[in-house]
Amino acid sequence: MEHDAGNEAAGAEENSYAGRKLRVTSFWVQCCAPAGYENTFGQIEPILLTELHCPLYNLYGSSCKGGMPLRTEKDGKDVPFGRIIRYQNGVNRMTEKERMLAGELYDAHDPELRRDAARSRRITRLFNNTTEEQQNYRRELLKELFGSTGENIYIEPPFRCDYGSNTYIGENFYANFDCIILDVAEVYIGSNCLFGPRVCVYTPCHPIDAGVRNTGLESGKAISIGNNVWIGDNAVINPGVTIGNNVVIGSGSVVTKDIPDNVVAAGNPCRVLRPITEEDKQYWSALLDEYRRSKVYPS
């Protein structure tokens, strides 16, 4: 794992956390209790790590770089826990990209970020210029564009995004025309998700104060969308929102707050209208059975 030598001596101490001792070096972890696990994790404060993998809460990440997400497995689920933040002599030494992914103020005109943005523009340009006969090529481009996808993914051109590499998509994803995903922070989309036309997913945030905003600095908040989610046309998903599993979001909704599992929600601002019930399942299962019977013809 990469270390900041100037902070090595300052970090070489033992940190007691949750009743355990942890030998630390130079990496702070900015932690947060995953949604639904606040009582399990209790009060969480920044801790120091020596390794990318920390047995304390089975923490792990895909990269040693600052700003990259750490995750933990709880109850068999992969949930976000925190981020690695690099400090040297008490000063934040993250790159602009690392700051962006950590949700801190960053400069979007940074050369590394401009190169990443140029990459996404190139891939989306190629994708949007494909024809309906080039389905395999479309899939190849989408898999190159995104951080990860399931095997089955279908997006109707045109499609736009900031980076693509910060978006992670599960199995069986479909997005209709004019989808926009602005992923300066991570966007997590589960399996079996369906987006209607012109669904927009926005992670960027701009300072409320005009003076700071005019500097050009901005930030972002990650968005998480669960499994089996249908988002109707012209819906807007705002920064920092989590949408649960088995959710229907009505057309034209502006989602500004978290939406729980198993509900129908709609409106501006989007609010829960009702739960999805066993009666719903029985009703739609009966229609499915009727459809299947209609496809069985006598010999």
Find all residues with CB under 8 Å of 280, minimum gap 6, and list them. Answer: none
Q: Is 218 within 8 Å of 235 (Cβ atoms)?
A: no
What ranges in the chain are assigned the alpha helix state H? 8-11, 38-41, 96-101, 111-128, 135-145, 210-213, 278-294
Classified as helix, coil or strand, 40 is helix
188 close to 224: Cβ distance less than 8 angstroms: yes
Which residues 6+ apart lie within 8 Å of 1 measured at CB? 27, 50, 51, 52, 64
**What are 222's two structure tokens?**
């990650």
132-144: buried (b, 16+ CB within 10 Å) or exposed (e) per residue? eeeeeebbebbee
Taking each helix axis as running N to C, give the angle between helix 111-128 and helix 135-145, from 0 to 180 degrees, rounded to the nearest 10. 170
Beta strands in 173-213 (DSSP E): 173-175, 179-182, 187-189, 194-195, 200-202, 204-205
Tell me the catalytic residues: 206
